[in-house]
């Protein structure tokens, strides 16, 4: 029971980190989009983007270890898994490690859109420069201006100037003499945003194409980037008010034709309160459903059907089982693991 509790805590921690990384990246892009000029120092966008990419890369590496070895890496005494990646601040090194791993994954080398995205994060000069900038910022430039005040000598490698230079490099792609100053500023800011979006989309594909079910159940809000087509780049749809799946989505009824069809081709199991000492439901039994080899996992609680993983929430537009009125408040159960083992 203790091991199950720890596993639940780890799954919850992954969810928290993924949500945080998405929000950091989203807000960094929002701030860039709201700027009237690239002349600004971009201190806060750099802070947000570096934090978001660092967290995202770390989570994907941890999920890679779980997917390939069956266990998350354990830190013992001074042995730190992220030491090899500049103590976890080497964003570019972590992304490169994921790219190397992708070369061993058959699915990631068969699908054209995935191959194209991997080439982008590996070879696109501007994205690689962006990675180097946020890596340097994460490692040693976060307090550049504080250090400038207290040091005698002039500092090298100013991430803020490098980021401005990168943003203004997009002016070389068009004839800016035909643009007003404001039009040029909007063009180059939108261009750096698209570069960041393409990078996030490519990295997010590891959830769905590189980590098996371990990744598919954890992609969370990054699903919006994974589904983003080239024509959607720069439109910032993910900045729109977020749907609260637990409040805005409704469970399916067990008599719904869509659910009946799914259940026909699923593995199911009825679990009972008598088999679990800490049963969290107000009814004596519920049914868990494994559809499409665990890609979509569900729970039938009384007459209603709820999702057990993020892919099921998105596919059926239904809430997670925690929205059930038959769940005791503040209680939970690792139903997903039970469903995936069917």
Instruction: Kindly state the average pLDDT of the residues 268-289.
Output: 95
Query: How far, in Å, CA of 310 to CA of 296, rounded?
Result: 8
Assigned token pair, 160: 């803020």
The DSSP call for residue 251 is P
Contact (Cβ atoms closer than 8 angstroms) between residue 111 and residue 209: yes
Q: How confident is the model at residue 154 (pLDDT cuts 50, 70, 90)?
A: low
Give the start-to-end residue ranges of the domains of the chain: 2-239, 246-340
Q: Tell me, what DSSP letter sits at residue 295?
A: T
- Among 67-71, 216-220, 249-253, whose mean pLDDT is lowest? 216-220
149 pLDDT band, cuts 50/70/90, is very low
Is residue 73 within 8 Å of 81, Cβ to Cβ?
yes
Residues, the chain: 342
Question: So what's the pLDDT on residue 158?
Answer: 82
Please state the pTM of the whole predicted model.
0.71
- pLDDT tens digit sequence for 63-113: 999 999 988 887 766 668 888 898 888 999 999 999 999 999 999 999 999
pLDDT at position 145: 55
Which residues lie closer than 8 Å to 149 by C-beta, 6 or more apart? none
pLDDT at 12: 79
As a whole number of angstroms, the distance between CA 262 and CA 249 comes to 19
Nearest to 246 by CA among 194, 317, 171, 311: 317
**What does residue 76 show for φ and ψ, rounded to 5 degrees?**
-120, 120
pLDDT, average across residues 202-211: 95
Name the 3-class secondary structure at 194: helix
| For range 324-334, the mean pLDDT | 93
Give the pLDDT mean for 163-182.
92
pLDDT at 187 over 80: yes
* Token pair recorded at residue 83: 């030491």
Q: Which two tokens stand for residue 341?
A: 């083992």
Most confident of 40-54, 153-167, 313-327: 313-327
């Amino acid at each position: 029971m203790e091991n199950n509790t720890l596993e639940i805590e780890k799954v919850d921690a992954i969810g928290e980190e993924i949500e945080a990384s998405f929000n950091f990246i989203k807000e960094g892009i929002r701030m860039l989009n709201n700027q009237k000029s690239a002349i600004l120092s971009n201190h806060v966008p750099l802070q947000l983007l570096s934090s978001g990419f660092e967290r995202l890369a770390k989570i994907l590496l941890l999920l890679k270890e779980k997917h390939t070895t069956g266990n998350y890496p354990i830190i013992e005494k001074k042995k730190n898994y992220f030491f090899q990646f500049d103590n976890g601040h080497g964003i570019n090194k972590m992304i490169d490690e994921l790219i190397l791993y992708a070369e061993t994954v058959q699915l990631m080398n068969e699908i054209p859109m995935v191959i194209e995205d991997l080439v982008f994060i590996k070879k696109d000069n501007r994205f690689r420069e962006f990675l180097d900038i946020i890596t340097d910022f994460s490692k040693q430039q976060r307090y550049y201006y504080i250090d400038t005040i207290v040091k005698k000598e002039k500092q090298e490698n100013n991430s803020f100037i490098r980021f401005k230079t990168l943003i203004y490099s997009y002016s070389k792609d068009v004839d800016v003499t035909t643009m007003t100053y404001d039009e040029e500023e909007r063009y180059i800011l939108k261009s750096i945003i698209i570069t960041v979006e393409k990078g996030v989309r490519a990295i997010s594909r590891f959830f769905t194409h590189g980590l098996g079910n371990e990744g598919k159940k954890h992609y969370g809000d990054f699903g919006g980037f994974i589904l983003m087509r080239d024509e959607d780049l720069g439109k910032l749809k993910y900045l729109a008010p977020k749907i609260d799946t637990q409040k805005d989505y409704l469970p399916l009824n067990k008599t719904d034709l869509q659910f009946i069809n799914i259940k026909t081709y699923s593995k199911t199991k009825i679990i009972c309160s008598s088999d679990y000492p800490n049963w969290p439901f107000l009814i004596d039994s519920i049914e868990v459903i494994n559809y499409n080899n665990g890609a979509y996992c569900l729970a039938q609680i009384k007459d209603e059907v709820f999702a057990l993983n993020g892919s099921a929430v998105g596919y059926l537009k239904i809430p997670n089982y925690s929205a059930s009125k038959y769940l005791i408040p503040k209680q939970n159960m690792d139903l997903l693991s039970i469903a995936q083992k069917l």
